[in-house]
Amino acid sequence: MFLSQGGMRNAVVWMLSAVVPVMTTYAAGNHVVPLTELHQRAVSASETRQTRLAGLRKFFSSTPVQEALRAVRIDSGQVQQAVALLSDEELARLAARADKAQADLAAGALNNQQLTYIVIALATAVIILVIVAR
Protein backbone atom coordinates (compact mmCIF):
# COMPACT_ATOMS: atom_id res chain seq x y z
CA MET A 1 0.00 0.00 0.00
CA PHE A 2 1.65 3.12 -1.25
CA LEU A 3 0.72 6.58 -0.10
CA SER A 4 0.45 9.46 -2.48
CA GLN A 5 2.56 12.54 -1.96
CA GLY A 6 -0.32 14.30 -0.26
CA GLY A 7 -1.00 11.30 1.97
CA MET A 8 2.69 11.01 2.87
CA ARG A 9 2.83 14.69 3.72
CA ASN A 10 -0.22 14.36 5.97
CA ALA A 11 1.28 11.33 7.72
CA VAL A 12 4.52 13.23 8.40
CA VAL A 13 2.62 16.27 9.67
CA TRP A 14 0.56 14.13 12.04
CA MET A 15 3.63 12.30 13.28
CA LEU A 16 5.53 15.54 13.90
CA SER A 17 2.55 17.14 15.60
CA ALA A 18 2.55 14.26 18.07
CA VAL A 19 6.33 14.02 18.58
CA VAL A 20 7.36 17.70 18.75
CA PRO A 21 5.32 18.67 21.85
CA VAL A 22 6.56 15.61 23.72
CA MET A 23 10.19 16.34 22.82
CA THR A 24 9.98 20.04 23.70
CA THR A 25 8.43 19.22 27.06
CA TYR A 26 11.19 16.72 27.75
CA ALA A 27 13.92 19.12 26.63
CA ALA A 28 12.46 22.00 28.64
CA GLY A 29 12.47 19.91 31.77
CA ASN A 30 16.17 19.16 31.37
CA HIS A 31 17.48 22.58 30.34
CA VAL A 32 15.55 25.21 32.24
CA VAL A 33 17.13 26.49 35.44
CA PRO A 34 14.54 27.02 38.17
CA LEU A 35 13.90 30.66 39.05
CA THR A 36 14.68 30.02 42.71
CA GLU A 37 18.12 28.69 41.79
CA LEU A 38 18.83 31.75 39.62
CA HIS A 39 17.76 34.02 42.47
CA GLN A 40 19.90 32.12 44.96
CA ARG A 41 22.95 32.35 42.70
CA ALA A 42 22.43 36.08 42.18
CA VAL A 43 22.10 36.69 45.92
CA SER A 44 25.20 34.59 46.61
CA ALA A 45 27.24 36.48 44.01
CA SER A 46 26.08 39.81 45.43
CA GLU A 47 26.94 38.78 48.99
CA THR A 48 30.39 37.56 47.90
CA ARG A 49 31.05 40.85 46.11
CA GLN A 50 29.94 42.87 49.15
CA THR A 51 32.17 40.80 51.44
CA ARG A 52 35.17 41.37 49.19
CA LEU A 53 34.46 45.09 48.93
CA ALA A 54 34.19 45.34 52.72
CA GLY A 55 37.48 43.48 53.14
CA LEU A 56 39.24 45.81 50.71
CA ARG A 57 37.74 48.89 52.41
CA LYS A 58 39.07 47.59 55.71
CA PHE A 59 42.49 46.91 54.16
CA PHE A 60 42.81 50.34 52.52
CA SER A 61 41.50 52.03 55.71
CA SER A 62 44.02 50.38 58.02
CA THR A 63 46.66 52.68 59.53
CA PRO A 64 49.75 51.08 57.96
CA VAL A 65 48.16 51.09 54.51
CA GLN A 66 46.97 54.70 54.92
CA GLU A 67 50.52 55.71 55.89
CA ALA A 68 51.97 53.85 52.92
CA LEU A 69 49.52 55.53 50.54
CA ARG A 70 50.26 58.96 52.01
CA ALA A 71 54.00 58.33 51.64
CA VAL A 72 53.61 57.95 47.88
CA ARG A 73 50.85 60.58 47.58
CA ILE A 74 48.05 58.26 46.48
CA ASP A 75 44.57 59.29 47.59
CA SER A 76 43.03 56.36 49.43
CA GLY A 77 39.53 57.70 48.76
CA GLN A 78 40.08 57.47 45.02
CA VAL A 79 41.46 53.96 45.36
CA GLN A 80 38.43 52.87 47.38
CA GLN A 81 36.05 54.42 44.84
CA ALA A 82 37.91 52.69 42.02
CA VAL A 83 37.72 49.33 43.79
CA ALA A 84 33.92 49.43 43.53
CA LEU A 85 34.21 49.69 39.73
CA LEU A 86 36.19 46.47 39.31
CA SER A 87 34.66 43.36 37.78
CA ASP A 88 33.95 40.38 40.01
CA GLU A 89 37.06 38.53 38.77
CA GLU A 90 39.35 41.53 39.26
CA LEU A 91 37.82 42.16 42.67
CA ALA A 92 38.42 38.53 43.68
CA ARG A 93 42.09 38.69 42.65
CA LEU A 94 42.66 41.99 44.42
CA ALA A 95 40.89 40.79 47.56
CA ALA A 96 43.06 37.66 47.63
CA ARG A 97 46.23 39.74 47.35
CA ALA A 98 45.06 42.17 50.02
CA ASP A 99 44.14 39.29 52.35
CA LYS A 100 47.59 37.77 51.89
CA ALA A 101 49.29 41.12 52.55
CA GLN A 102 47.15 41.68 55.63
CA ALA A 103 47.93 38.19 56.95
CA ASP A 104 51.65 38.68 56.33
CA LEU A 105 51.53 42.06 58.07
CA ALA A 106 49.68 40.61 61.07
CA ALA A 107 52.22 37.78 61.30
CA GLY A 108 55.09 40.26 61.23
CA ALA A 109 56.41 38.87 57.96
CA LEU A 110 56.44 42.31 56.31
CA ASN A 111 58.37 45.42 57.20
CA ASN A 112 57.14 48.93 56.38
CA GLN A 113 59.07 49.12 53.12
CA GLN A 114 57.67 45.82 51.87
CA LEU A 115 54.16 46.85 52.85
CA THR A 116 54.60 50.16 51.02
CA TYR A 117 55.62 48.34 47.85
CA ILE A 118 52.67 45.97 48.10
CA VAL A 119 50.22 48.81 48.70
CA ILE A 120 51.64 50.78 45.77
CA ALA A 121 51.28 47.72 43.54
CA LEU A 122 47.69 47.08 44.66
CA ALA A 123 46.64 50.71 44.31
CA THR A 124 48.28 50.96 40.90
CA ALA A 125 46.57 47.75 39.79
CA VAL A 126 43.20 49.16 40.83
CA ILE A 127 43.77 52.41 38.96
CA ILE A 128 45.02 50.66 35.81
CA LEU A 129 42.14 48.17 35.79
CA VAL A 130 39.61 50.98 36.08
CA ILE A 131 41.28 52.99 33.31
CA VAL A 132 41.39 49.96 31.00
CA ALA A 133 37.74 49.14 31.74
CA ARG A 134 36.61 52.59 30.61
Contact indicator for 73, 123 with CB cutoff of 8 Å: no
Is 41 a domain residue? no
58-69, pLDDT tens digit by residue? 998 988 888 888
Q: What pLDDT does 57 receive?
A: 92
Asked whether residue 19 is domain-assigned, the answer is no
pLDDT of 73 > 70? The answer is yes
The dihedral built from the CA positions of residue 91, 93, 94 and 99, taken in this order, carries a sign that is positive
129 pLDDT more than 70: yes
28 found inside a domain? no
Residue 74 lies inside a defined structural domain of this protein: yes
77-97 pLDDT per residue, tens:
888 888 888 889 999 999 999
Domain that holds residue 100: 50-133
Q: Does the model's pTM come out above 0.85? A: no
Tell me if 55 is assigned to some domain: yes
Q: What is the number of domains present in the chain?
A: 1
- Res 4: pLDDT: 60
Contact yes or no for 120/72 (Cβ under 8 A) = yes
- Answer yes or no: is 124 within a domain: yes
Q: Give buried/exposed letters for 2-35 (b at 16+ CB in 10 A, else e).
A: eeeeeeeeeeeeeeeeeeeeeeeeeeeeeeeeee
Question: Is position 94 within any domain?
Answer: yes
Indicate whether 88 belongs to any domain.
Answer: yes
